[in-house]
Amino acid sequence: MLWANNAAAGNFAYITNQGSNTVSVLDIDSRKVTHTIAVGKAPVGVAIADKQQRIYISNANSQTISVIDHRSKQQLQEIRVNIQPVGIALSRDEKTLYAADWEGAQVIAIETAHPEKQTAFKAGKTPSGMVVSADNKKLFIANRDSDDITVIDTRTLKQITRVPVGIHPFALTLSPDGKTVYVVNVVSNSLSLLNVETYQTQTMKTGQHPYGAAATPDGRWIYVTNNHAESVSVIESATGKIVKTIAVGEFPEGIDYDPVSQLVIVANWGTDNLSLIDTRTNEVTSIVPCEKLCRAFGRFIFNTGASK
pLDDT digits (tens, 9 = 90+) for 264-297: 999 999 999 999 999 999 999 999 999 999 999 9
Is 259 exposed, middle or buried (CB count within 10 Å of its CB: 0-12, 13-18, 19+)?
Answer: middle
Give 304's pLDDT tier (boundaries 50, 70, 90): confident
pLDDT value of residue 307: 44
Give 7's pLDDT tier (boundaries 50, 70, 90): very low
| Residue 17 near residue 293 (C-beta atoms within 8 A) | yes
CA pair distance 182, 42, nearest whole angstrom: 26
C-beta neighbour count of 15 within 10 angstroms: 27
To the nearest whole number, what is the mean pLDDT of the chain?
A: 95
Q: Which of 294, 156, 288 is nearest to 225 (CA)?
A: 294
| Residue 288 near residue 27 (C-beta atoms within 8 A) | no
**The CATH number of the domain where 30 resides is what?**
2.130.10.10
Q: Both ends of the chain: CA-CA distance in Å?
A: 21
Domain residues for 152? 2-307
| pLDDT for residue 9 is more than 70 | no
CA pair distance 52, 138, nearest whole angstrom: 22
pLDDT value of residue 306: 54
| Residue 105 near residue 141 (C-beta atoms within 8 A) | no
Q: What is the mean pLDDT of residues 45-63?
A: 97
CA pair distance 89, 190, nearest whole angstrom: 23
Give the largest Cα separation in the chain, rounded. Answer: 52
| pLDDT for residue 308 is more than 60 | no
- With the CA atoms of 190, 195, 201 and 206 taken in that order, what torsion angle do they form, in degrees rounded to the nearest 10? -10
pTM, two decimals, is 0.95
Specify the higher pLDDT residue, 104 or 278.
278
Q: For 113-153, how does the pLDDT look when each residue is reduced to its tens digit (9 = 90+)?
A: 999 999 999 999 999 999 999 999 999 999 999 999 999 99
| pLDDT for residue 3 is more than 70 | no
Question: Over pLDDT 70: what percentage of the chain?
Answer: 95
Helix, strand, coil percent content, the chain, rounded in steps of 5: 5, 55, 40
The total number of structural domains in the chain stands at 1
Q: What is the mean pLDDT of residues 48-66?
A: 97
Question: Over pLDDT 90: what percentage of the chain?
Answer: 94
C-beta neighbour count of 273 within 10 angstroms: 20
pLDDT value of residue 108: 98
C-beta neighbour count of 245 within 10 angstroms: 16
